[in-house]
Structure 1
Amino acid sequence: MFHKEGYKIISVAIVLFLGINVASYVAIQIKEWQIAILVLTLAFLILILQFFRNPKRKTLVADNTVVSPVDGKVVVIEEVFEKEHFKDNRLQVSIFMSPINVHVTRHPIGGNVTFSKYHPGKYLVAWHPKASEENERTTVVVKNNIVEILYRQIAGALAKRIVNYATEGEQVVQGSDSGFIKFGSRVDVFLPVGTKINVNLNEKVRGGESVIATL
């Protein structure tokens, strides 16, 4: 299954793959060159297909757990001052996605979307300390019966478009699609101080399935 954000790009990639290889078969008589072009274009097509894959995930829905919003590696666990919305100290858990990770963003908790905002910005590498405040990003806050948390999609050096589906006032289900970030990025999750964190630095997590915190 592929994500809807990739349909156009996948279609273009398939047309290019077929067009280039038909043209090489007609115009180039050297078989080795034809094979080389086939291999290179097939590799490119496979990269596009794997980037936009959207595997189904089985989320164990619970108000007292926070699931990872994305696939990737935990790169930050620290207490910080969150100055955009809460304006107090929060526990920040950041997950970095490489270009080979699934790039679907999922709601870490279910509940009511109380805040959703897009910020234009720079394209610093996603692990840069200032990326959370200076890069292109979207901020979403969801509140359930137990907690209100904020998570932020952050563009990286290669990510040129962030898609955010969350709209203020809507009810969302834990683990459901919240957005998509194209070509490498990171997501920050801001939790109340004192929340039990269930992951460690450099640990790999799966969006919608890995429980990163217990409330």
Structure 2
Amino acid sequence: MPCRARNEAPSCMTDILESIRRLFVPIHKEGYPFIAIAAVVALVLGQFWSPLGWIGAIITIWVCYFFRDPPRVTPVRDGLVVSPADGRVSLITTAVPPAELELPAEPMTRVSVFMNVFDCHVNRSPVSGRILQVLYTPGLFLNADLDKASEDNERNALVIETGDTRIGVVQIAGLVARRILCWSKPGDMLGVGERFGLIRFGSRLDIYLPLSAQVLVGLGQTSIAGETVLADLRANEPARPFRNS
């Protein structure tokens, strides 16, 4: 909206600067090689035919967008479990956690967040706590939105101890994703919302919680890593219903 009066100018300029800040968010360092490759390819293609160069430029911008790493404002109350990934809540169910987590072979609440290629792919810790295990498992590259991807796909699993509770966080590769990154290791202390990994080009995260945890999101809801509260480990209220609108 244009500034119509002199006294509106400061507010208008603030809005413009905020819009620019949101557009040009920080880029994670893991994306720099891919951005450089895309930029070089765009320049080479442009030498042969300018429309190809423009297409390459658009792809380069998209790669920059994919590897964005915006700051987040994380709720910090004890017991809250925040989303470890941007994306859609694709599954809320009860399941036995993968054997490699070495959690009790008993049903736990599993919340799955599916990330498409337009979501931010930096992963953040859902709780504050100490990492007990980090376990990589090779596997297939099925559609990460499928339920069986939890068992069949390439994945990297973390067990995080928060207070007297242990939860599982599993990074799962998808059809396009070909590398799971996790720079945290056993013994590390993570703060809630702290970055611990990244998955390249489409994937999913599963969070395994005690059955006593109250899930606070609905199926199909969009979540934001480090901000959206998925569940409450200390809730004593009845479960909240959700509806689509």
Distance 2:53 2:201 in 1: 24
Q: Secondary structure at the match of 1:37?
A: helix
1:105 corresponds to? 123
Structure 1 residue 18 displacement after superposition? 2.5
- Which residue identity is paired with 2:75? L
Structure 2 residue 32 is matched with structure 1 residue 7: yes
| Aligned partner of 1:180 among 189, 198, 202 | 198
- Which residue identity is paired with 1:37? L
Structure 1 residue 170 displacement after superposition? 1.1
Structure 2 residue 152 is matched with structure 1 residue 134: yes
Contact 1:63 1:146 in 2 (8 A): no
Distance 2:34 2:204 in 1: 22
Q: What RMSD over aligned residues (CA atoms) do the two structures have, in Å?
A: 1.2
Structure 2 residue 58 is matched with structure 1 residue 39: no
Contact 1:93 1:188 in 2 (8 A): yes
Ranked by relative contact order (alpha carbons within 8 Å, sequence separation 6 or more), the top structure is 1
Segment of structure 1 superposing worse, 161-170 or 94-103: 161-170
| Aligned partner of 1:162 among 163, 177, 180 | 180
2:91 corresponds to? 76
Q: Secondary structure at the match of 1:82?
A: coil
Distance 2:44 2:184 in 1: 38
Structure 1 residue 126 displacement after superposition? 0.3
Distance 1:139 1:181 in 2: 13
Q: Secondary structure at the match of 2:84?
A: coil
1:55-111 Cα offsets, whole Å, 9 max, x none, are 111112233100000000001101111242212110000000000000001110111
Contact 1:140 1:166 in 2 (8 A): no
Q: Which has the higher strand share?
A: 1
1:1-36 Cα offsets, whole Å, 9 max, x none, are 111111111111122222332x13xxx5xxxxx2x2
- Which residue identity is paired with 2:198? F
Q: Secondary structure at the match of 1:9?
A: helix
Structure 2 residue 133 is matched with structure 1 residue 118: no
Contact 2:39 2:56 in 1 (8 A): no
Contact 1:114 1:168 in 2 (8 A): yes
Distance 1:83 1:210 in 2: 25
Q: Secondary structure at the match of 2:76?
A: coil
Contact 1:63 1:145 in 2 (8 A): no
Q: Secondary structure at the match of 2:181?
A: strand
1:52 corresponds to? 67
Distance 1:45 1:182 in 2: 15
Contact 2:84 2:126 in 1 (8 A): yes
What are structure 1's unaligned runs of at least 5 residues? 29-33
Structure 1 residue 173 displacement after superposition? 1.1
Contact 2:42 2:54 in 1 (8 A): no
Q: Secondary structure at the match of 1:116?
A: strand
Structure 1 residue 128 displacement after superposition? 1.8
1:143-174 Cα offsets, whole Å, 9 max, x none, are 12252110100000100000012211111111
Structure 2 residue 87 is matched with structure 1 residue 62: no
Structure 2 residue 170 is matched with structure 1 residue 152: yes
| Aligned partner of 1:17 among 42, 56, 59 | 42
Contact 2:43 2:53 in 1 (8 A): no
Q: TM-score, normalised by structure 1?
A: 0.91
Contact 1:107 1:177 in 2 (8 A): yes
4+ residue runs over 4 A deviation: none
Structure 2 residue 216 is matched with structure 1 residue 198: yes
